[in-house]
Structures are given as C-alpha cells and as structure tokens.
Amino acid sequence: MSRRQWVAVVALPLLMQGSSGLQAASLSCERPDVAAFTAEVVARHALDADGLCERFGEATIRPDVLRLIAPAPASRPPDWARYRGNFVNAKRIRLGLEFWDDNRASLEAVTLKTGIPAAVIVALVGVETTYGSNSGRHKAFDTLATLAFEYPPRADFFRKELESLLVLAHQQNIPVADIRSSYAGALGMPQFMPSSWRQYAVDGDGDSHIDLWRNPADVVASVANFLVRHGWQPDQPTALKASVEGTPEVGGGIKPDTPLGELRQQGVRTLGKAADSESGVLLRYGNGDAAEYWVGLQNFYVITRYNRSSFYAMSVVQLAEALETAVRPTVAQQP
C-alpha cells in the first residue's frame, strides 16, 4: 500500500483524535492526527500526499513557539505610555516618512480609490513590521504545524491557517519550507495570516503576482483592501479624545455599540464633532495612576480587526497622526 493510499484509509476513523503532545517523536504522517489532516487537505485541494507527508516528516516541533504563543500570566494592566513608546517613536516616524516618500504614487492611488488615508496604511505597516525590517524569522510550516498539533487551545484555528499556507505556497509556486513567518504564522510586511493573504491580498501594480514580502505596491493595496472589506468609512474619524465627569462605565470591549448621546449623558465629553446617534466605545488608557480617555468609532473598530487590542489600534491611530503631521510641511512645499 502506498503512503497516499494509507493516508486515505486511516483518515476517516481518526478525525476525532486529539493531539498526541510533545512526547511524539515527530509530526510525521505516522501520527493519526497528522494523517487525518493530510488526507483532508489532499482531498480538498488535490495536493501531493507523498510530498506533504515528506514535509511533515522533516518538520521540527517548536517548543519556543509554544512558549511565545502561551497567554501571559495575569498581571497589572499595561502602562499605556510604555506600550505607546514601542510604536510611536522617532525611528518609526522617520522610517514611515521614507516609506511614504518611496511609495507615494501607490499610496495616493489607493487613497483615491478607497478613501483610506495614506497615513493609516503606512502606520499599520510600521506597527506590524517596521516597514518590512522585522517580518519574521521562523519557518512558517514548522511554526503552524507545531501550533496546529501541539497547542490544543487553538488547534482548529491553526490547522486552518496551516492548510491556507499549503494552498498559498502551491498557488504562488513557492517551496513551503522556504516561507518565513512570525511565531504565530503571520506573513510578509503587513503580517497577514495565510487565510487573510488568500482572502484580502491583491495585486497592487498589475504584474499579475502578489508579493507581500518585497512589493510595497501589493502591500499598500492589500492593507487597504483588508480595511475596506472590514467596513472602513471614508472621511470619518477613527477615535475622539475624551474627558469624563464622574465615573462613566468603561467596559472591556472594543466594539462601538453605545450611542454617543448615551455616553454624553454619562458624563463623557468628546473633542471633535460626532452625532449623538453615532455609536462609540469609551476606552481608558492608564499611565500609572493617571489615565486618558478616548471614544473609539467604527474606523477604530476596523483597525482592531487587524489585531483585537485597543492599545494596538490606538498605537496605529497615533502613529498615523504623527506621520500626517510630519508630512504636511513637505506636501505644502510641493508645487
């Protein structure tokens, strides 16, 4: 019986078996859960079963990835000033302005088409990978295979991402062993997960090829497409600086599901105009014993679809504001 036939035979009765844990010698197709996954992927996408089993047999289980992905132990709330300083700083502003200048034509074209400010796109790439300088050093296949079969809390999610990686490599005609990622499997300058690449990545320069590792035109267009598809509202703010009177309720969510009129009745005052009927979410950013307040709107929520953290989204917003402020004099001086 060939390996292809063996995989197909054992797959069905083994679909419900869980991970065998780190005690397993390898991630080979001799593991029932790996064999079942391989059979499913081969059936759905007509990939080569022998080649895929060979790739699994060469994969390395990554304990370091498991340590990095594990939730941090509970501690006091993060300090906003310290977190912000990691992303909104002189280096990222300087490199962001260089990225903006080098890719001005692509950014202007995408902004004209989508209504998404160039500064927001540049800031997202800056926060994610410092404009491509830190796009990942881990072998993507080993990383996602480890998480798919050795991290039960999110095994289903990472198996889907591993499947997407295999399909992406096949479609792009790239050896999957050569692809590098973050410790969570994110790819390229914008750090798209493989499923997001397949769903949102677009060809930004018309060369009939999508390259999110080296082609900024594709990166710019793909980031914009991601935001559009998640409901970006052109010509609308992302968040409003706020002050509070009394003790308005600050929930743990990030979805703008409270009318601003209701927030104002609770003592929230915002800088900037927004109708009472518009929905927002009150956000608190602690700096030691002090705090600052913001009201996140729909576009703020869209940014959190990239990373489901209000700290992350506010870092993008404030880096974008810093870039926009720095680039205005240059724009004003141009003929």
Q: Which pLDDT score, from 0 to 100, does residue 84 have? A: 96
Question: Hey, what are 190's tokens?
Answer: 């914008």
Distance between CA atoms of residues 47 and 42, nearest Å: 5
Tens-place pLDDT, residues 18-69: 444 444 447 999 999 999 999 999 999 999 999 999 999 999 999 999 999 9
CA 38, 44, 50, 51 dihedral sign is negative
Strands of 268-270's sheet in order across: 258-259, 279-287, 290-296, 239-244, 268-270
Mean pLDDT, the chain, as a whole number?
90
User: Are the CB atoms for 223 and 202 separated by under 8 Å?
Assistant: no
DSSP state of 134: T
Q: How far from each other are the two terminal CA atoms of the chain, in whole angstroms?
A: 73
Per-residue pLDDT, averaged over 137-161, amounts to: 97
Query: Quick check: 3 pLDDT over 50?
Result: no
Tokens standing for residue 223: 């980031």
Token pair of 303 as six digits: 């940014």
Q: What is the pTM (predicted TM-score) of this model?
A: 0.89
SS3 206: coil
Q: Which residues contact 317 (CB under 8 A, 6 or more apart)?
A: 120, 123, 238, 239, 300, 303
Domain ranges of the chain: 3-69+136-186, 239-296
For the domain spanning 3-69+136-186, the CATH number is 1.10.8.350
The pair of three-digit structure tokens given for residue 19, joined into one six-digit string: 């991970």
Rounded Cα distance between 1 and 282, Å, is 62
pLDDT reported for residue 76? 74
Q: What is the pLDDT of residues 181-194, one digit of tens each?
A: 999 999 999 999 99
Longest dimension (CA), the chain: 74
pLDDT at 167 over 90: yes
Is residue 180 scored above 90 in pLDDT?
Answer: yes
Distance from C-alpha of 280 to C-alpha of 256, rounded to nearest angstrom: 4
Six token digits for residue 228: 């559009």
- What is residue 332's predicted lDDT score, i.e. its pLDDT? 44
Q: Which residues pair with 269 in a beta bridge?
A: 243
pLDDT in tens, 204-246: 999 999 999 999 999 999 999 999 999 999 999 999 999 999 8
128 is catalytic: yes
Q: How far is CA 81 from CA 86, 123, 292, 294, 326, in A?
A: 9, 18, 10, 15, 21
Catalytic residue among 30, 58, 128, 321: 128
| Residue 127: per-residue pLDDT | 98
Q: What is the pLDDT of residue 330?
A: 53
